[in-house]
């Protein structure tokens, strides 16, 4: 199978671990397959985490991003081309100015730019300066078709999107093409209500005209370890149980495959260093198991 699988990591809440999880999954999958990571969040967390060293931007990336902007090949340029004009987008070819390829052999990267913020609040109208807009939900799908043309014969096996907390047209277009949606949550009271809201909103308002529904995984991150090794606090377990019920009810009510992953990611300071230093082995093992668990359904 050489089809690209698209994974969107989402949550309306910030700080739950979307960016961290995007990177961790990317790392694990890249041990076997080639991966394309896309930072779709104007806050640029993933981009910064991967290209800043002690506050200084990596030289190679700096040169690359200047050239990318100059050639008008940032994600924002391409989005605006798609929205505004037929010709710009039709003429746009994916090349090395669109995809940064020097992170590692198996992980390529499309970084975010700040302009994605104004793009994300662009009114969702059919008209823009009097021009008819393309159907925005098709944006990412069409970009990825161009990526596939560029990578013909050697396609990415997985594309993982680090999504912004808020909605907006780019986010909708990502969800529209996603085969898999991963929702990290944290053990707190608002998380469960937020999860219920997010799932329902996805189902009723965002994924409405999709023929093949994406599988949804909900994953507990920042689980609080208890004193006994390998176990979590009562509170973490209580919130996990509540989230699990929300996922189960959603899945039954809407006949949509949604799964709560029974293994959690613990809260640990080691995770703050993963972008530069890798993972301690005990979390690494857990994450491999979590991915194995998910992969069965993908």
Ligand X SMILES: Nc1ncnc2c1ncn2[C@@H]1O[C@H](COP(=O)(O)OP(=O)(O)O)[C@@H](O)[C@H]1O
Q: Which residues bind Mg ion (CB under 5 A)?
A: 18-19, 45
Q: Is 164 in the site for ligand X (CB under 6 A)?
A: no
Q: Tell me how far CA of residue 67 lies from CA of 17, 70, 171, in angstroms.
A: 31, 5, 26
**Using CA atoms, how far apart are residues 141 and 135, in angstroms rounded to an integer?**
11
**Using CA atoms, how far apart are residues 47 and 113, in angstroms rounded to an integer?**
9
Q: Is 233 in the site for ligand X (CB under 6 A)?
A: no
Closest approach, Cβ 80 to ligand X, in A, equals: 25
Residue 247 burial (CB count, 10 A): 22
SS3 state at 152: coil
Among the listed residues 126, 234, 257, 272, the single contact to ligand X using CB under 6 A: 272
**Given the complex with ligand X, which of 276 and 292 has the nearer CB atom?**
276
Closest approach, Cβ 258 to ligand X, in A, equals: 19
| Count, residues near ligand X per rule CB under 6 A | 15
Among the listed residues 128, 148, 268, 293, the single contact to ligand X using CB under 6 A: 268
9-23 burial, b at 16+ Cβ within 10 Å, e below that, comes to bbbbbeebbbbbbbb
Q: Is 16 in the site for ligand X (CB under 6 A)?
A: yes
**Using CA atoms, how far apart are residues 198 and 183, in angstroms rounded to an integer?**
9
Residue 227 burial (CB count, 10 A): 6
Closest approach, Cβ 30 to ligand X, in A, equals: 18
**Given the complex with ligand X, which of 7 and 16 has the nearer CB atom?**
16
Q: Tell me how far CA of residue 53 lies from CA of 21, 61, 106, 233, in angstroms.
A: 20, 11, 21, 35
Question: Which does residue 263 bind out of ligand X, Mg ion, none, counting CB within 5 to 8 angstroms by kind?
Answer: none
**Given the complex with ligand X, which of 21 and 136 has the nearer CB atom?**
21
Among the listed residues 143, 219, 220, 271, the single contact to ligand X using CB under 6 A: 271
Q: Is 20 in the site for ligand X (CB under 6 A)?
A: yes
Q: Is 278 in the site for ligand X (CB under 6 A)?
A: no
Q: Is 48 in the site for ligand X (CB under 6 A)?
A: no
**Using CA atoms, how far apart are residues 167 and 16, in angstroms rounded to an integer?**
16
Q: Is 17 in the site for ligand X (CB under 6 A)?
A: yes
Residues in contact with ligand X by CB under 6 A are: 14-20, 45, 221-222, 265, 267-268, 271-272
């Amino acid at each position: 199978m050489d089809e690209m699988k698209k994974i969107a990591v989402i949550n309306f809440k910030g700080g739950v671990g979307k960016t961290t999880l995007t990177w961790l999954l990317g790392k694990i999958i890249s041990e076997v397959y080639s991966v394309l990571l896309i930072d779709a969040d104007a806050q640029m967390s993933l981009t910064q985490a991967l290209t800043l060293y002690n506050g200084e931007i990596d030289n190679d990336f700096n040169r690359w991003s200047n050239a990318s902007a100059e050639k008008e090949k940032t994600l924002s340029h391409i989005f605006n081309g798609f929205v505004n004009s037929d010709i710009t987008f039709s003429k746009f070819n994916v090349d090395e100015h669109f995809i940064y390829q020097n992170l590692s052999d198996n992980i390529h990267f499309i970084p975010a730019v700040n302009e994605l913020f104004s793009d994300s609040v662009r009114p969702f109208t059919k008209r823009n300066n009097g021009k008819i807009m393309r159907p925005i939900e098709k944006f990412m799908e069409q970009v990825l078709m161009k990526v596939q043309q560029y990578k013909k014969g050697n396609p990415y096996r997985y594309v993982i999107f680090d999504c912004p907390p808020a909605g907006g047209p780019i986010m909708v277009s990502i969800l529209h093409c996603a085969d898999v949606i991963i929702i990290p949550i944290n053990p707190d009271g608002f998380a469960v209500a937020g999860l219920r809201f997010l799932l329902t909103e996805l189902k009723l308002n965002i994924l409405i005209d999709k023929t093949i529904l994406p599988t949804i995984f909900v994953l507990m991150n920042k689980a609080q370890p208890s004193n006994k090794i390998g176990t979590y606090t009562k509170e973490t377990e209580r919130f996990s149980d509540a989230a699990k019920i929300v996922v189960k009810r959603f899945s039954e009510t809407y006949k949509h495959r949604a799964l709560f992953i029974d293994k959690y990611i613990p809260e640990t300071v080691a995770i703050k260093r993963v972008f530069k230093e890798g993972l301690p082995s005990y979390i690494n093992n857990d994450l491999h198991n979590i991915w194995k668990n998910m992969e069965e359904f993908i």
